[in-house]
Amino acid sequence: MVLPLLLAVAGVVLIIAGQLGLDAPPVSSLPPIPDPTSPVALATPTATPEPSRDGTPDATPDATRTERPTPSPTPIPDDWVAIQIQIEAVGINVPVRHAVDEDHCDFPPADAAYVLCGGAQPGRGENAYIFAHALNELFKPLWNVRLGDRVRIRMSDDAVLAYVVTEVHPNVSCPDDRADPHPSPPLALALAPPGCEEGAAWTRPTDHERLTLQTSQGYNRNWGELIIVAEPAGS
């Protein structure tokens, strides 16, 4: 699964509208996402009954027993997908879609934020990688995100998952020969590790719930990428 993600992220080219300012937050036509339905962005565990000594389910456990039920994750339906992301602190409130092919991962439409091809959806205990163009009405306001900012994801069943920003990584290198060169890229990017190794690493699966948000941070991707990491709130 890692290889498709690495190939996909290597082809992501995000448009930059450098002349647009951030003097005022963008105005979204979407309603605000309500308070989260759970403090942790994971499926709620359910208890598995402890078997009795003869192997049958023990409906009335002995009061002297110390064994506790073993939690098991509640299955998440395949169609339980992210449909909206909001970061109120910087005015982001945009629809979320899933990139369905390499064309979308290579050059996504400028109509939404996209979950990476082959990537996990939020709430599945893995790394959900969501990217969008650096436009005022999409992910350009990520440039103003700070540690501790709250992120909300609305799922297709109207569940709300809550995250908090824990990491901000500017100047992530992932050059693209197809993008126009720029005469003065940021010095920090010039000192960054060359190639796309660092950029691709952020797409890899994790063994825990994580939200990874990405956009460009300059004229084109040769100015570098901005990576925002958010962990489940309250975890």
Question: What's the confidence (pLDDT) of residue 163?
Answer: 97
Question: What's the confidence (pLDDT) of residue 6?
Answer: 43
Fold category of 2-39+78-232 in CATH: Sortase; Chain: A; (2.40.260)
Question: What's the confidence (pLDDT) of residue 66?
Answer: 39
SS3 168: strand
Question: What's the confidence (pLDDT) of residue 54?
Answer: 52
SS3 234: coil
Residue ranges with strand state E in 31-159: 46-48, 70-72, 82-87, 92-98, 113-115, 127-131, 150-155
Q: How far apart are CA 43 and CA 159, in angstroms?
A: 10
Per-10-residue mean pLDDT, the chain, length 235: 43 40 55 68 42 46 40 54 96 93 83 92 95 94 96 94 96 76 65 82 95 86 88 83
pTM, two decimal places: 0.71
Question: What's the confidence (pLDDT) of residue 198?
Answer: 86
